[in-house]
Structure 1
Amino acid sequence: MVKFLKPGKVVIILNGRFAGRKAVIIRSFDDGSRDRPYGHCLVAGIAKYPKKVIRKDSAKKTAKKSRV
């Protein structure tokens, strides 16, 4: 099977308390573990989304807006 859960990829949480929120994959467990015998991954939620960057912004301002 194709491994599509790669670290650094942005995902949307579908179930539970944080459903609909964006997160980033930190580590993927494609073969599962002893506790969870199925493929899963560790994610970190994004608290503050990046701001819109426009062409006339300076490099310093672009870096500040792109911070998550």
Structure 2
Amino acid sequence: MSLLQAGRFVVMLQGRHAGKKAVVLAAYPEGTEDRKFPYAIVMGIEKYPKKVTKDMPTEVLVKKTQVKLFVKAVNFNHVMLTRHNVKDEDFFKKISVEKVVAALKDAPAKKALLTEYAAVLRQKYLNNKMAWFFKPLQF
């Protein structure tokens, strides 16, 4: 049994997304036909929302609360497990793992999927769900 399971938060250690937080959507500890190593499908925040104040105009608020995502298949060795889990019950109802896995092979589908899920995560940010996930790591 692997500790990396769906719904766990991880920190990316390698590549262009190093230091970014991500959530595990699916884990394959034995690998698959196309990838012979243990890996996980993760979705993380590439660009975190900025801080906002009450007196900002709505156009600025909309722009500053945007969330940019990334989705990738990553080796278990390139992520660090955290103690945090997704406690939001409807997270996996709104985000389909099968659609994400299919979109990894098709670039236009992946881009459309990321914009769709960015809107879902933006609502979670505005409703103050998963607050730890939306703050950048402090070094």
What is the TM-score of this pair, normalised by structure 1? 0.67
Structure 1 unaligned residues grouped into runs of 5+: 50-62
> What is residue 13 of structure 1 aligned with on the other side?
12
> What is residue 33 of structure 1 aligned with on the other side?
32
CA displacement at 1:19 relative to structure 2: 0.4
CA displacement at 1:21 relative to structure 2: 0.1
1:66 maps to amino acid: K
> What is residue 44 of structure 1 aligned with on the other side?
43
1:65 to 1:48, Cα distance in 2 relative to 1, 3 A: farther
Of the candidates 107, 119, 128, which is equivalent to residue 65 of structure 1? 128
CA distance in 1, matches of 2:129, 2:35: 35
What per-residue deviation string (whole Å, max 9, x for no partner) do you get for residues 9-67 of structure 1? 00000110100000000000111012211110000013547xxxxxxxxxxxxx81125
1:66 to 1:48, Cα distance in 2 relative to 1, 3 A: farther
Q: List structure 1 segments (4+ residues) > 2 angstroms apart after TM superposition.
A: 46-49
Q: Which has the higher contact order (CA 8 A, sep 6+)?
A: 2
CA displacement at 1:4 relative to structure 2: 0.7
2:127 maps to amino acid: K
1:38 maps to amino acid: F
What is the TM-score of this pair, normalised by structure 2? 0.35
Secondary structure at the counterpart of residue 14 of structure 2: coil
